[in-house]
Structure 1
Amino acid sequence: MTKHITSRRQFLVGAGTAATVAAAGAWPTAARAASEGRPPNIVFVLADDLGFGELGAYGQQKILTPHIDSLAAEGVRFTDCYAGGPVCAPSRCSLLTGLHIGHGTVRENPDGDLARASLKPEDVTFGEVLRAVGYRTACIGKWGFGFEEPNQPSHPNERGFDEFFGYITHTHAHDYYPTYLFNDGDRVLYPENEGANVTYAPDLFMARALEFIERNRDQPFLLFFNPTLPHSPHDVPSDAPYGDMPWTAGNKRHAAQITLLDTYVGRLVERLRELGLDDNTIVMLAGDNGPHEEGGNKYDPDFFDANGPLRGYKRNLYEGGIRVPMIAWSPRLLRRSAGTVCDQPWAFWDVFPTLADFAGAPVPGHLDGRSARALLVGGRRENVGPLYFYRRDKSQTSHANATDGGRMRNTCEAARYGDWKAVRFAPGRDRYVDDAQWDVELYNLATDVGETTNLAARHPEVAAALVGFMRDAWVEAPYERPTWSPEGLAIDVPPFLVAGGSGQVVTELSNHHDDAFVHARLSLEAPTGWTVTPISPLAFSTVPPGRSVRSVWKVVPPPDSEPGVDLHALVARATYQYLGRPNSTALADLVTVAPPAPGADGYLSDLAWISASNGWGPVERDMSNGEQGAGDGAQISIRGTTYAKGLGVHGESVVLYYLGGMCDRFTADVGLDDWSALRSNAGSVAFYVFADDREVFSSGVLTKKNGPVRVNLPLTGVQVLKLVVTNAAGTAFDHASWADAYIYVRK
């Protein structure tokens, strides 16, 4: 029996299933690829901070990119392709998972918080679905998510890539001469780089990529190649061929980075041709956001007109920050005339279903993306919905800040629908403020690609429609969706179960094959002491191709389950016969157990919560959040008033309590804790209370000069109380307290 185990989502594939998975024609959408031989190889090159105007094919006049330009001349050049976001981590998350930033797991750069930049077990990537249909998969170069630990959900080997070589963390990828890299879960040392620049990581990535292609020439493969170029710093072995140019050192080295990237692309294509693989390989290249302006040495993106005709840079939501070069090349498979230019909008979250479409792989139903295969092969997509973008970043760079009118640290959203593009800025970092407080701009990209003329006042109905879309596109994390495996099994668990109470779990088996499943049966396993009762049929005589069957279960954890400590595994299983052979598959999901509803009045700090997340260290009980992150906080104090009870937090913070409809009222004093107020004048926070996801309280921005603000809210019938604190200024001085937080139980 073959096992694929990925922490929260684990699925066991019987030998019979493994055999059919390995045959590409087993999947309905693979029939097209199978009719032409094996499914196409896919090479996806993701450049880092490559501006829209930094390739010759997109109008660049100073930087040489002959190999990439040749791909554009022979393939498809897209003029309206969008990154997943204006900075690296959320953009790459969108690319991998097929979700736009309003649904994605990673929505901001980590800024030192690796947990915030970690993929979750429920995040399905295009690597996973291609591996499920027999592809050998590799990620080489920058991964950029999570912790430097193997066997955890955010590691590339756990997210669908058979092979990994490169940087795990976002920040480590900024070091072009690292002292270590990772080969799968093993650390590979480069001691020669201690205090010196000897071994250049992108050269290692190039060699490994070429070796991967040659080693897998006889089977379908996916190569996700991320050489980090041309991200800052401007470290490159040589500034050739620009050494004699009368430019600044920074400009020479930046140009050399891009030309080196071009050289790497040329070597990849050359190897494909040498091996006779070019006719059955799709090569795609894109940038992950707009051009950067970091790196020093008097580097200036405007010297190269790095954003072309577009307004904005990395971190902006104007076109220059999110519209990126995208080129697709395959001499035989794309069937477009050479040098085709496609101007239909699409975005990074469309890449996942597009690659799956070419590979003949199934995709989960919750994706925001839609296959853009038609755009690559000569057609058009119909009924394309709006595109959504979001930015909340603590960094501040001069060009981008000037483009935003000094609002670079403000929360910002954007949407494009057809030729209309809306951008809106919150008054600060707080995205919960009312729509009326946002500054909305509207542009017609058909006549104003540089976004110079704000038409919001002339077309208020268009602006209002796009604002409504932006509001609805954002779903507070975590974005709940069923846990899904490419083998066709899914399990949908509630956000939590209550100790001693019942909840419903749904399991579903989908048939992605060309022939029917027969004698299918679903089952569900729970931890010892739990009660599992089916409340719908479990056995199904047949599951036709393209159809699904589901079972619903009543699940009751024992009353003495310890809440909020461990996640508990529920395992869905399915058995069936396919083409006369028995098959089985299993899939696990983890569920949180919430405590029973409170039975008496009391302080929240004395109650168990469902979950608690914090911007720095843990949420503290009856003390402020301290400097070391855990257990070192002072007594809660707001503008000199001290409190014996309460919750000490650090924005961004979210704490959930289960009330079960048993409470009448919630009271607290809230404000910036004196721990921050005494150390800086820059700290500011905002408090929110949500009752069953409905906002019922907003404090406004609180600083050392105002507060505490009294909270006194009715809670009749409320099931879940959510307490949120946001960082309103983008500084580290956002220690805040829910002082004397108290609930009153219904009498």
Structure 2
Amino acid sequence: MYSHPNNIIICFTVALFSLGNADQIRAQDTPAESKPNIIFIMADDLGYGDLGSYGQSKIQTPHIDRLAKEGIRFTQAYAGGPACTPSRSVLMTGQHNGHTAARDNIPHYHTYLQKEDTTVAEVLQEAGYRTGGVGKWSLGDAGTVGRATNQGFDMWLGYLNQDHAHYYYTEYLDYNERRLELPGNTVLREHYSHDILTNKALQFIRKSKDAPFFLYAAFTLPHFSSESEDEHGLTVPSTDPYTDKDWPESARKYAAMIHMIDRDVGRIVDLVDELGLGKETLIIFTSDNGGHPTIWKAFDTNGPLRGYKRNLTEGGIRVPFIARWTGTVPAGRVSNEVISFQDMMPTFTELAGTASPRDIDGISVLAALMGDPIKEPHDFLYWDYGHTRDRYDQAVRMGAWKGIRLGEESEIRLYHLEKDIAEKNNVADQYPGVVREIDEIMETAYEPDERYPIGEEYTGDPIWRKHQ
């Protein structure tokens, strides 16, 4: 039985007030220090070509484009992996896809992060930062050691389980060690989850303004939703401002999703400036992996890149990446430096004046954020995908070379990205020496993990609703 809508609104208002008071108590316990605030905003399945600053012409993204004008835009930034969970694991642990705790999207109800795993949030927390997160976690469910509040976050509001994140009109969100209940929301549709997450992010910034803080805004837009919630798998409150466009209905919904995340990036940036924190705050905007293959082709979601989410071609792993830090990061700059998600751990710890764990694969890319070349760049970047699926793929970027193996027994395909960004011309036969080097990296970069046996498809139950 569902509650009356007025009762829901009253309960929801009281719940948010309580959440705010709880956070305020924690904020007062945190001493102010002269360390930069860090806001890391990550969209979900946003393609390389979905932003105006990266070539998009049909969907307007004025606020994110303004962020690029006021900061630096990277053309060769890489996600941690080609799908949600491994990419977030790389971001949090600083370890690449062959080492990090979570290497595939399944099993969804596995505790990915363990007690021995160290996250960037934990390191920053120990360095005196107040740490908050909103959105999709994917690295440990409620009651497990991998949950966000057991991995360095003072506050978390959102989805711990990523299957749960397929519901924008969910009946609850995970808040720290309990739930923010939204009874009847699947039917009444009173509360769109993205709006709740954005409001909490803004609240966290306001209450943390007098102390160094780290905000991880892992928004779920524009990730597809359950088809039980929306026939196109793209749940939105409305298609505004694209309702009158002569586009397919699914395209209007997708554009509206990007409009909402652009709008709310603008709200976050405006609040930072309103509070006088622009010169004290590094703001980063990116995506967790490439765009989805079902997006209307006229949008050209991944721009010039080949492939989509779940692929190890550039369209699956190269992502938009924009950074602004007023007065420190040069404005209006474009960088071709090669950076990746594992680099965030050492970069943020350098900013915090502390050390990263020794077993990470990332390097500090602070120089690149400042518009300078990285003096000692990566020898290589490594990705894999499909441990618990019917095909296991690997990819390596080494300088301008990119090698991809699709299936354990297949030959390595080789591309020169400076000449062939779309990965159309396989030149493996012309450069056997480069292929051998990449083959050796693929052999040694991957460390086996019993949780993800290659070639053994996971057959457990991934349905979050059965575990409520």
Same fold (TM over 0.5): yes
Distance 1:472 1:82 in 2: 21
Q: Please tell me the residue identity of whatever aligns with 1:222.
A: F
| Partners of 1:119 and 1:146 within 8 A in 2 | yes
Q: 1:333, CA displacement in angstroms?
A: 2.4
What's the counterpart of residue 374 of structure 1?
Answer: 367
Q: Please tell me the residue identity of whatever aligns with 1:438.
A: S
What's the counterpart of residue 135 of structure 2?
Answer: 141
Q: 1:731, CA displacement in angstroms?
A: 7.8
Alpha-carbon displacement from aligned partner over 1:451-504 (angstroms, at most 9, x marks no partner): 0100000001101111111111001126xxxxxxxxxxxxxxxxxxxxxxxxxx
What's the counterpart of residue 331 of structure 1?
Answer: 326
Distance 2:191 2:387 in 1: 32
Which residue of 417, 432, 442 corresponds with 2:398? 417
Matches within 5 A, 1:238-317: 238-294=238-294, 299-300=295-296, 302-317=297-312
Q: Please tell me the residue identity of whatever aligns with 1:311.
A: R
| Partners of 1:217 and 1:275 within 8 A in 2 | yes
Q: Please tell me the residue identity of whatever aligns with 2:129.
A: Y
Q: 1:194, CA displacement in angstroms?
A: 3.6
What's the counterpart of residue 23 of structure 2?
Answer: none
Which residue of 443, 448, 453 corresponds with 1:471? 443
Matches within 5 A, 1:45-60: 45-60=41-56
Matches within 5 A, 1:316-715: 316-334=311-329, 336=330, 338-384=331-377, 385-392=379-386, 409-426=390-407, 431=408, 437-477=409-449
Q: Compared with structure 1, are the counterparts of its residues 317 and 726 closer, same or farther at alpha carbon in structure 2 (3 Å cutoff)?
A: closer
Q: 1:110, CA displacement in angstroms?
A: 2.1
Alpha-carbon displacement from aligned partner over 1:163-197 (angstroms, at most 9, x marks no partner): 11111101111111110011101111101314232
| Partners of 2:31 and 2:211 within 8 A in 1 | no
Q: Please tell me the residue identity of whatever aligns with 2:382.
A: Y
Which residue of 202, 210, 229 corresponds with 2:194? 202
Alpha-carbon displacement from aligned partner over 1:142-176 (angstroms, at most 9, x marks no partner): 11122222xx3201111111011111101111111
Bigger share in helix = 2
Q: Please tell me the residue identity of whatever aligns with 1:449.
A: I
Q: Please tell me the residue identity of whatever aligns with 2:282.
A: I
Runs of 5+ consecutive residues of structure 1 not aligned to the other structure: 1-20, 25-37, 396-408, 432-436, 479-612, 614-651, 654-724, 734-747
Q: 1:303, CA displacement in angstroms?
A: 1.9
| Partners of 1:109 and 1:393 within 8 A in 2 | no
Task: Output the TM-score relative to the length of structure 2.
Answer: 0.87
Structure having the higher Rg: 1
Q: Please tell me the residue identity of whatever aligns with 1:146.
A: G
Distance 1:373 1:98 in 2: 15
CA-based RMSD of the aligned residues comes to 1.8
Q: Please tell me the residue identity of whatever aligns with 1:249.
A: E
What is the DSSP-based 3-state SS (H/G/I as helix, E as strand, rest coil) of the residue aligned with 1:457? helix
Distance 1:168 1:731 in 2: 20
Distance 1:449 1:200 in 2: 38
Distance 1:23 1:199 in 2: 35
Matches within 5 A, 1:156-195: 156-195=148-187
Distance 2:151 2:41 in 1: 18
Which residue of 107, 112, 131 corresponds with 1:118? 112
Q: Please tell me the residue identity of whatever aligns with 2:128.
A: G
Q: 1:22, CA displacement in angstroms?
A: 6.1
Q: Compared with structure 1, are the counterparts of its residues 196 and 394 closer, same or farther at alpha carbon in structure 2 (3 Å cutoff)?
A: farther
Alpha-carbon displacement from aligned partner over 1:589-615 (angstroms, at most 9, x marks no partner): xxxxxxxxxxxxxxxxxxxxxxxx7xx
What's the counterpart of residue 94 of structure 2?
Answer: 98
What's the counterpart of residue 577 of structure 1?
Answer: none
Distance 2:337 2:419 in 1: 15
Alpha-carbon displacement from aligned partner over 1:260-318 (angstroms, at most 9, x marks no partner): 00001000011111111111101001100010135xxxx42x22111101101001100
Which residue of 80, 84, 98 corresponds with 1:84? 80
Distance 1:354 1:339 in 2: 21
What is the DSSP-based 3-state SS (H/G/I as helix, E as strand, rest coil) of the residue aligned with 1:390? strand
Q: 1:357, CA displacement in angstroms?
A: 1.1
Distance 1:64 1:393 in 2: 38
Runs of 5+ consecutive residues of structure 2 not aligned to the other structure: 1-29, 226-233, 461-468
What's the counterpart of residue 531 of structure 1?
Answer: none
Count of matched residue positions in the alignment of Structure 1 and Structure 2: 422
Distance 2:69 2:162 in 1: 33
| Partners of 1:83 and 1:347 within 8 A in 2 | yes
Distance 1:216 1:178 in 2: 28
| Partners of 1:84 and 1:348 within 8 A in 2 | yes
Bigger share in strand = 1
Identity over aligned pairs, percent: 41
Distance 1:410 1:417 in 2: 23
Higher relative contact order (CA 8 A, sep 6+): 2
| Partners of 2:387 and 2:455 within 8 A in 1 | no
| Partners of 1:41 and 1:220 within 8 A in 2 | yes
| Partners of 2:112 and 2:146 within 8 A in 1 | yes
What is the DSSP-based 3-state SS (H/G/I as helix, E as strand, rest coil) of the residue aligned with 2:428? coil
Q: 1:319, CA displacement in angstroms?
A: 0.4
Q: Please tell me the residue identity of whatever aligns with 1:424.
A: R
Alpha-carbon displacement from aligned partner over 1:217-274 (angstroms, at most 9, x marks no partner): 1111111001200000211111111100011111100011011000010000111111
Distance 1:54 1:194 in 2: 29
Distance 1:134 1:171 in 2: 33
What's the counterpart of residue 463 of structure 2?
Answer: none
| Partners of 1:22 and 1:132 within 8 A in 2 | no
Q: 1:109, CA displacement in angstroms?
A: 0.3
Q: Please tell me the residue identity of whatever aligns with 2:373.
A: R
Distance 2:376 2:201 in 1: 38
What's the counterpart of residue 124 of structure 2?
Answer: 130
Distance 2:426 2:135 in 1: 40
Task: Output the TM-score relative to the length of structure 1.
Answer: 0.55
Distance 1:95 1:461 in 2: 32
Alpha-carbon displacement from aligned partner over 1:368-416 (angstroms, at most 9, x marks no partner): 0010000011221133210001010778xxxxxxxxxxxxx52110000
What is the DSSP-based 3-state SS (H/G/I as helix, E as strand, rest coil) of the residue aligned with 1:77? strand
What is the DSSP-based 3-state SS (H/G/I as helix, E as strand, rest coil) of the residue aligned with 1:148? coil
| Partners of 2:311 and 2:317 within 8 A in 1 | yes
